A and B are shown apart, each in its own frame.
Chain A
């Protein structure tokens, strides 16, 4: 350690001293610690979802305020032992990093963290860091921030909302009354599970997907008009367990025992041994409940770190982080539902036949978004990236469905996971039967709230479109000894569960409740005007009579939705080769087809989610519905959706039809009721935003030093587009062992591909050099018919050719013949008799026996350029003219050299081969000309050095 100067603050020389280090700690507090403290104070539900208590919070403060700062000090100390210079640099790095993070946090708060703001912020942070090194008041200011090291944690633990996790503990209820009847009680609450999901019609449960719900309903009270009291779990579960309507006044209260000490657990703690699987709330204290399990502290820290990164990351980084706005925890865990199912099975193993036991399970991820579980319990590759979009709803962000296409497939996903929930219910009922407790048990099955699948509606925010689907939930109550089904149409709510249990057991509830005893025949249900708490803590009021009508309407909508997809009358139809005609105009590519082509059925992750693109000359051909057949059987239908200019689709396949080797067929259902097989172009590439997307993923366009290649000839001859070129690893011997695919795009559409296959003796020495040449020919008629590309499009020079090396996932762009480009290396002037270019002077002629040619295309393109195409020859020398000069009135714009192959010109002049490259086509960038161009004022002149003549080219049909 170096000798510390007397006052390191006044001294501008950086040294590793305690005072210097405390300044870094202070910046750490501002940049990292306090943002974390305030973030979790503002979101106490995050803490409760991890069942965080005083101990865990103190660990956190210890980690943030002591362990990490000590680590920082240790890095400085040991670096200093090795090199003072490096240690000083490290101090600067720490200071710069923490100032940057703090400023990022502020900019983020102001919603200003775009690319410009990032640059400005980094600049300011650099200036402050330099200021710290050079300017005494800046250094002094940062040193004066050191009280933060103590103030921030003290504020967090003693004065922030997080204090409730540390200090506020209320005594549990004690019961003195004895009860003789203590049947085993089982309560299972699912999450985001609306009633209409399980219904076949208004009065029956769909026993195809939900046989166990249907079975239980046959021996239960089914309260078919039961409603949830809140749209979100952190309000809904406390409402069920306390019997009280959630208030909009304490809407940000975390679902914690200290906040809700009067609840079902504390009420029954004197009578029942309680087994609890609370996956989200923390309402049962550990001294009352046997908690089945809980998340690890590392999981909590991992999520906290991701939350923090979201608070300081610029937009372009935030996009790459795991999403945090679709759940309370487990941001990196993509299979939360499966994890919870395993926990539930563990929970079931605690069930025995002894009386006086209460089993409570709330499964917060089942059948919750992102619905990636199949009825078999396996997962699949569903992706949710683009299905929804966010909009401000009552001042805050809420998600809406993007389009009907997504709704259909995601509803199926929801249905499949819900069907798995039914399977779990079946396992639960089986255990009850095996343990011989089903008959004597009080069983309550419900869900905390629903979800909406209405077009253009919010998924979870309540308005007049969605309230009936979010409020309506299943509620089945089986009383001990019950043998018959009873459908109850009363206006009931989930807050009635607690008073119903208490009443059945004969226990008084020692606090005020809003719920009613459901089994009391004198109880006629709640009033007509009902309320449900929205996610943004505002109460939404609705009329029960309207609710019944809307509920009915929604069920009809759901039934129709299924009839269009999984229950479509074509589902189950066999499709064999040649049984239906193939569509002329539609082609498809399935991006993840390679995943399903050959699979191991024992895998737990199945590739049943297909994503792809559809292509047609006219987009109208893609309107309407498509079906998908897996191994020859139609399993589902879908409608494509627009993704920019592309027509994309997502569709879920049926696990039942999956084999080891699979084939997929897409079928267009025409308006006339015909079925047309869609041609599957498996190696289709899409060029979008300067990126190539293949059916196997994204390919990077790069300039690889490994490859050399170009297109040497590119022309139209005899209604055929021809392209000749080569690709080799010239100069990088034997590094390339596979020939790349050459992919041709015109107007952004892939027109074809070719593999190098013939010798080009002029091309050098690499391992590809043996056969580097390729030639591609396609009929213009085919291009027009299949892709809508006309001959005139080809001359617009919007073609791009890539050599794609799949083994390296790179695409190398090949240059096209470029001599048709407009150049202006000299200037020309024009009079009525002559055109002069430098020292040369060309006499104007109109004699077609000296120079002849044709201007075939002169057209303004959408990109702002003007395309000029034609041919011109010098009849005396029997070859192409030397240049094509472009004038705008009398102003010279540039010259073009003819170089385009014109077989037709050769043929027209009796097979004179020297006329082969007499064609020209070039684009004039109008922006460079700097004035508005009137095409009629353009003059195109052909000039010949041999005859010193020049001819004005005009458009005419034929020579």
Chain B
């Protein structure tokens, strides 16, 4: 990833995660998405780990089958 892309991602993250100080009255954009993003990130990580795990175990199973066979 080049520096320009990194900057854009950082900027977007800042906008999304930043909780604005409240307006004089209620600002509908004042809520934060931080928690959703953290959980979403963890879920994505979980998916990657799970898929890798499946791949690895499948590999072992194949080896096992070969040995058994």
Hey, which bits of chain A sit against chain B, CB under 8 A?
A: 30, 34-35, 37-39, 41-43, 45-46, 102, 105-106, 108-111, 137, 140-142, 144-145, 147-148, 151-152, 155, 231-232, 251-252, 307, 310-311, 324-328, 395-398, 460-461, 535-537
Instruction: Check: B35 CB closer than 8 A to any chain A CB.
Output: yes
| Cα distance, A145 to B35, chains bound together (Å) | 11
Q: Check A327 against B25 for contact (C-beta < 8 Å).
A: yes
Q: Check B40 against A461 for contact (C-beta < 8 Å).
A: no
Given contacts A140-B50, A145-B39, contact A397 B23 (CB under 8 A): yes
29 pairs, A vs B, C-beta closer than 8 Å: A34-B35, A34-B36, A38-B19, A38-B32, A38-B35, A41-B31, A45-B22, A106-B16, A109-B16, A140-B47, A141-B46, A142-B43, A144-B46, A144-B47, A148-B39, A232-B24, A251-B21, A307-B26, A311-B28, A311-B31, A324-B26, A324-B28, A325-B27, A327-B25, A396-B23, A396-B27, A397-B27, A535-B23, A536-B23
- Choose one: B16, B31, B39; the contact of A110 (CB below 8 Å): B16
Instruction: Check: B10 CB closer than 8 A to any chain A CB.
Output: no
Q: Check B22 against A42 for contact (C-beta < 8 Å).
A: yes
Q: Whose C-beta in chain B lies nearest to the C-beta of A331?
A: B26
| Cα distance, A43 to B32, chains bound together (Å) | 12
Instruction: Check: B51 CB closer than 8 A to any chain A CB.
Output: yes
Hey, which bits of chain B sit against chain A, CB under 8 A?
A: 12, 15-16, 19-33, 35-36, 39-40, 42-44, 46-47, 50-51
Q: Check A137 against B31 for contact (C-beta < 8 Å).
A: no
| Cα distance, A137 to B47, chains bound together (Å) | 6
Taking A38-B31, A396-B23, A536-B23 as known contacts, 6 extra A-B pairs with beta carbons closer than 8 A to each other, sorted by chain A number, are A109-B15, A109-B33, A144-B46, A328-B25, A396-B21, A461-B24
Q: Check A325 against B16 for contact (C-beta < 8 Å).
A: no
In the A-B complex, the 3 residue pairs with the closest CB atoms: A535-B24, A38-B31, A144-B43
Q: Check A151 against B47 for contact (C-beta < 8 Å).
A: no
Interface centre among A39, A109, A141, A148 (most CB of B within 10 A): A109
Given contacts A137-B51, A141-B47, contact A152 B25 (CB under 8 A): no
- Choose one: A106, A231, A537; the contact of B33 (CB below 8 Å): A106
Q: Whose C-beta in chain A lies nearest to the C-beta of B42?
A: A144
Contacts of B47 in A (CB 8 A): 137, 140-141, 144
Q: Whose C-beta in chain A lies nearest to the C-beta of B34?
A: A38
- Choose one: A35, A142, A398, A537; the contact of B21 (CB below 8 Å): A537
| Cα distance, A762 to B56, chains bound together (Å) | 86
Q: Whose C-beta in chain B lies nearest to the C-beta of A399?
A: B24
CB distance from B43 to the nearest CB of A (A): 4
Q: Whose C-beta in chain A lies nearest to the C-beta of B19?
A: A42
- Choose one: A231, A325, A536; the contact of B26 (CB below 8 Å): A325
- Choose one: A35, A42, A147; the contact of B39 (CB below 8 Å): A147
Q: Check B31 against A39 for contact (C-beta < 8 Å).
A: yes
Q: Check A109 against B29 for contact (C-beta < 8 Å).
A: yes
| Cα distance, A232 to B20, chains bound together (Å) | 18
Contacts of A327 in B (CB 8 A): 25
Given contacts A38-B32, A311-B29, contact A145 B40 (CB under 8 A): yes
CB distance from A23 to the nearest CB of B (A): 11
Interface centre among B15, B20, B22, B50 (most CB of A within 10 A): B22
Contacts of B36 in A (CB 8 A): 30, 34, 102, 148
Contacts of B23 in A (CB 8 A): 325, 396-397, 535-536
Contacts of B44 in A (CB 8 A): 141
CB distance from B36 to the nearest CB of A (A): 5
Contacts of B12 in A (CB 8 A): 110
Contacts of A232 in B (CB 8 A): 24
Q: Whose C-beta in chain A lies nearest to the C-beta of B51?
A: A137
| Cα distance, A460 to B23, chains bound together (Å) | 12
| Cα distance, A42 to B29, chains bound together (Å) | 10
Contacts of A151 in B (CB 8 A): 35, 39
| Cα distance, A243 to B19, chains bound together (Å) | 30
CB distance from B61 to the nearest CB of A (A): 16
Interface centre among B22, B27, B31 (most CB of A within 10 A): B31
CB distance from B58 to the nearest CB of A (A): 13
Contacts of A39 in B (CB 8 A): 26, 28, 30-31
CB distance from B14 to the nearest CB of A (A): 11
Q: Check A307 against B22 for contact (C-beta < 8 Å).
A: no
| Cα distance, A106 to B34, chains bound together (Å) | 11
Q: Whose C-beta in chain B lies nearest to the C-beta of A308?
A: B28
CB distance from A111 to the nearest CB of B (A): 8
Contacts of A311 in B (CB 8 A): 28-29, 31
| Cα distance, A55 to B40, chains bound together (Å) | 31
Contacts of B35 in A (CB 8 A): 34, 38, 151-152, 155
Q: Check B25 against A326 for contact (C-beta < 8 Å).
A: yes
Contacts of B24 in A (CB 8 A): 231-232, 396, 398, 460-461, 535-536
| Cα distance, A251 to B26, chains bound together (Å) | 14
Contacts of A144 in B (CB 8 A): 42-43, 46-47
Q: Check A252 against B39 for contact (C-beta < 8 Å).
A: no
Q: Whose C-beta in chain B lies nearest to the C-beta of A142?
A: B43
